[in-house]
Structure formats: C-alpha cells, structure tokens
C-alpha cells in the first residue's frame, strides 16, 4: 500500500499525516477530509473533519445518562451522580460482590442500540455482573462530528466521577472494572480511565474512532492507548476509515485484516464501511458465551498470516482475551453469525 504524506493545517497546528489512500468514487479527499457515515437507523451523514472548530464555546448540548442492569433487574435502574465529591451514592441493585462492566456507543447512536443491549444480555448470562450502559446520545447526535469527537473528554470525565463514586460507595475498585466502547465510545473510555482515581483493569476498544484521534494523530493523553489501563485490547474492523489503522493497545486484533470490507458487508461505500465498523461489536458480543472461539494468531502482518505462516501460537479475540496477550493478532471470520471459526 502506498503511503501518502499530507500536510494539513488545522488552526495553528501543523500535523504530518501518513494517510492511507482510499480508493473510492468520491475522490482523494474521501477518507482524509470527509467520510459518509451510516448510522444505526440507516441514515447517512457527512462526517466532515477537514476543519476543527476554532473554539469550544457552546459545544456541549446535552448530558450523559447511566443505566445499571444486573441479574436482579431486567429494567434499567438509572444512576445519579452524587452532587458533591466524596459523597456516597446509593443504588437499589448495585451488588458490591460483583465485577463491573461499562459499555458505551459512538456517533449517532445510543444506549438503546441493539449491540449494546445484546452485549449487556450476554454479560448477564455469562456471570453475575453489574453492567452499566452509558447514553450520551444527546451529544453524539450532533451532526458536526468534531463537536461530538471533542465531547468525548467531557463525557469521559463524568463517567470517571461515577466510577470513583462507585468505588467509594461499594468498594469495587478499578481491578474489577472493564470498560468497553465502540468508535468514539472507545475514546470516551480512555478519558474515563485516565480521569478516574482508579487504575482500570481493562479497556476493550471496539474499532476505536480514527478521525481526530489517529488522523491527525493526537497526543497520547488524548486518545486510547495502552497507558490507559492494565490491559487494553482492540478489535479493528474498519481500520484506516472510521477506525484506527495502527496498533494502539497491548493486544490488537485484526479480523479479516482489520479493514473494510469485512466479509458479509456488501453494498454501497457507506454501507460497507458502516457495516465493517459495527462488526467489532458483533464479534465481541458473540465471544461472550459462544462455544466457538475466535482463535487469533500472533503475526507480523496480514500477508504472512494469509500465506499460512504464524500458526504456532494462538490466543482468543473478544471476551476471552487476557492480560498476557501482547502484540498483533490476525484471524479470519465467517460472513454471518456465528462469525467465529473455532480452533485451527
Ligand atoms: C467540509 O467542511 C469544509 C469546511 O467547512 C467545506 O469547505 C467542505 O466543503 C466540507 N466538505 C463536505 C463534503 O461537506
Ligand atoms: C450479590 O451477588 C452474589 C453473587 O455474586 C449473590 O450471592 C448475592 O445474593 C447478591 N446479593 C444481592 C443482595 O443480590
Ligand atoms: C510462539 O511462542 C513461543 C514460546 O512462547 C515463542 O518463542 C515464539 O516466538 C512464538 N512465535 C510467534 C510467531 O509468535
């Protein structure tokens, strides 16, 4: 693949970008300056990131909401942050004996989106977890992508306060916390972990958002990377377009080479990409309770993997990924559920 060196002027910043050229009917700016985005309802939006807003005044149009699900409550319990710091808060269903999973969505999505509800259900089937889903759809539905992207920090800070309040009130500490986010949601979880007083055990990035994080490359403290938690695992499914292309976690998984188009994602450009971007969530969801594992193999690159090298060692992508996993992993999947191919 040919690397194209671009110099982009963003305000007073001059950023060198190694952009991957992306062949398509919309021309060379597509993928570098703007992209079509296909949301959960099937609507198309222009994700334009050719200019960063010059100031952030008025950027916040909405709030974040927190919903707790446990095996004891099918209907969500809305959680409210204590108004002051170091104040204990109480919940009807939070169970201090159990580990915590926190899940959130990306641009033009919400807590009600199918994959979040399904991942929540699979977690509760798997074990007696406290599952908190975060809804930041009021802000995520801002059609100006940069505003939604820059708001990830604000949302992350708020969730960090919630986690600290949980630790204070229920003695569940960071070692029992696992944060998951899709797209911009991955970036939110990076901020959450870094603003929290806890060292968070694990962050799973489900195709973490690329525009404004990897393109242009933001400083380490402004994007998800392996400093954010004890274990950061990333599933790449639309790398170089909506998702990170490069490895940023402890373990980076590249199913079907980590890019569009993922098997089963046919259609128009934006549909291919939206579908591929969403695959990371579907893979993770399936991995929680499925008997068929997403066996993944450490390898230098896709070409070597494809040629049949790199089959000596393996690990598992998704729920079963563990702290010892380190480096890049490759695997194939099927084009429909169940996606996993199992062992060897
Ligand atoms: C993106 O925004 C820039 C600056 O506002 C504008 O010039 C350009 O036409 C926009 N591109 C698209 C595809 O909307
Ligand atoms: C909390 O969860 C444990 C299992 O992890 C269970 O034994 C216990 O009954 C739960 N407590 C409440 C109050 O539901
Ligand atoms: C497989 O694991 C062995 C033992 O840990 C290690 O020496 C070897 O380098 C690994 N091979 C690959 C391709 O990662």
Indicate which atom in ligand 3 lies nearest the CA of residue 299: 13
More confident residue, 20 or 277: 277
In a domain, 284, yes or no: yes
Confidence band for 113, pLDDT divided at 50, 70 and 90:
very high
Confidence band for 244, pLDDT divided at 50, 70 and 90:
very high
Query: Nearest ligand to the C-alpha of residue 129?
Result: 2
Rg for the chain, CA atoms, rounded = 19
Q: Is the confidence at residue 24, as pLDDT, over 50?
A: yes
In a domain, 201, yes or no: yes
Helix (H) or strand (E) holding 280: helix 269-289
In a domain, 51, yes or no: yes
Residue list, ligand 2 pocket, CB within 6 Å: 72, 95, 97-98, 128
Confidence band for 12, pLDDT divided at 50, 70 and 90:
very low
Nearest alpha carbon, ligand 3 atom 5: 313
In a domain, 342, yes or no: no
Q: How many domains does the chain have?
A: 1
Give, for ligand 1, the residue of 10, 30, 48 to mutate: max count of ligand atoms closer than 8 Å to Cβ.
Answer: 48
Residue 179 pairs in a beta bridge with 102, 203
Q: Which domain holds residue 284?
A: 2-331
**C-alpha of residue 48 to centroid of ligand 1, in Å:** 6
- What is the pLDDT averaged over residues 264-290? 91
**Residues above pLDDT 90, as percent of the chain:** 68
- What is the pLDDT averaged over residues 112-137? 97
Query: Nearest ligand to the C-alpha of residue 170?
Result: 2
Please give, one letter per residue, the 3-state secondary structure of 180-232. EEECHHHHHHHHHHHHCCCCCCEEEEECCECECCEECECCHHHCCCCCCCCEE
Q: Is the confidence at residue 3, as pLDDT, over 60?
A: no
**pLDDT given at position 4:** 27
In a domain, 341, yes or no: no
In a domain, 87, yes or no: yes
For 73-92, what is each residue's pLDDT tens digit? 989 999 998 887 777 888 99
**C-alpha of residue 71 to centroid of ligand 2, in Å:** 9
For 159-195, what is each residue's pLDDT tens digit? 999 999 999 999 999 999 999 999 999 999 999 999 9
Tokens found for residue 92: 């009807």
In a domain, 337, yes or no: no
Mean pLDDT for all residues in the chain:
88
> 297, 329 in Cβ contact below 8 A?
yes
Least confident of 16-25, 30-39, 148-157: 16-25
**pLDDT given at position 118:** 98
Tokens found for residue 261: 């188009």
Nearest alpha carbon, ligand 1 atom 7: 50
Nearest alpha carbon, ligand 3 atom 7: 313
Scored b (16 or more CB within 10 A) or e, 193-219 reads bbbbebebbbbbbbbbbbbbbbbbbee
Give, for ligand 1, the residue of 50, 52, 54, 211 to mutate: max count of ligand atoms closer than 8 Å to Cβ.
Answer: 50
- What is the pLDDT averaged over residues 240-266? 94
For 31-63, what is each residue's pLDDT tens digit? 778 888 888 788 888 888 877 666 655 566 789
Helix (H) or strand (E) holding 152: helix 152-170
In a domain, 50, yes or no: yes
Output the pTM of the full model: 0.90
Question: What CATH number should be reported for the domain holding residue 118?
Answer: 3.40.50.1820
**C-alpha of residue 301 to centroid of ligand 1, in Å:** 35
Residue 24, CA distances (Å) to 11, 115, 268, 315 in order:
28, 29, 10, 35
Query: Nearest ligand to the C-alpha of residue 27?
Result: 1
**Is residue 332 in contact with ligand 1, taking CB distance under 6 Å?**
no
**pLDDT given at position 104:** 98
Q: Is the confidence at residue 17, as pLDDT, over 60?
A: no
Query: Nearest ligand to the C-alpha of residue 72?
Result: 2
């Amino acid at each position: 693949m040919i690397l194209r060196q671009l110099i982009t002027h963003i305000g007073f910043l001059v950023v060198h970008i190694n952009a991957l050229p992306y062949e398509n009917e919309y021309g060379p700016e597509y993928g570098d300056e703007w992209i079509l985005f296909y949301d959960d309802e099937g609507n198309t939006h222009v994700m334009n990131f050719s200019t960063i807003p010059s100031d952030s005044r008025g950027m916040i149009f909405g709030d974040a909401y927190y919903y707790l699900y446990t095996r004891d409550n099918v209907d969500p319990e809305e959680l409210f942050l204590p108004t002051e710091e170091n104040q204990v808060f109480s919940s009807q269903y939070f169970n201090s004996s159990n580990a915590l999973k926190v899940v959130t969505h990306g641009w033009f999505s919400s807590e009600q989106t199918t994959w979040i509800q399904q991942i929540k259900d699979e977690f509760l089937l798997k074990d007696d977890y406290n599952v908190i889903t975060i809804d930041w759809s009021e802000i995520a539905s801002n059609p100006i992508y940069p505003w939604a992207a820059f708001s990830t920090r604000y949302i992350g800070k708020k969730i960090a306060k919630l986690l600290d309040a949980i630790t204070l009130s229920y003695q569940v500490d960071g070692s029992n916390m696992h944060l998951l986010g899709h797209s911009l949601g991955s970036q939110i979880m990076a901020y959450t972990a870094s603003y929290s007083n806890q060292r968070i055990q694990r962050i799973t990035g489900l195709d973490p958002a690329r525009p404004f994080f990897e393109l242009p490359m933001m400083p380490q403290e402004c994007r998800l990377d392996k400093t954010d938690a004890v274990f950061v695992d990333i599933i790449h499914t639309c790398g170089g377009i909506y998702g990170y292309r490069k490895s940023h976690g402890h373990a980076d998984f590249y199913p079907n080479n980590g890019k569009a188009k993922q098997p089963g994602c046919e259609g128009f450009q934006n549909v291919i990409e939206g579908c591929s971007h969403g695959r990371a969530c579907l893979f993770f969801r399936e991995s929680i309770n499925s008997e068929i594992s997403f066996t993944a193999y450490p390898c230098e690159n896709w070409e070597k993997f494809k040629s049949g090298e790199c089959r000596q060692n393996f690990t598992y992508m998704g729920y079963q990924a563990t702290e010892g996993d380190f480096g890049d992993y490759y695997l194939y999947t099927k084009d429909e559920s169940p996606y996993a191919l199992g062992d060897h």
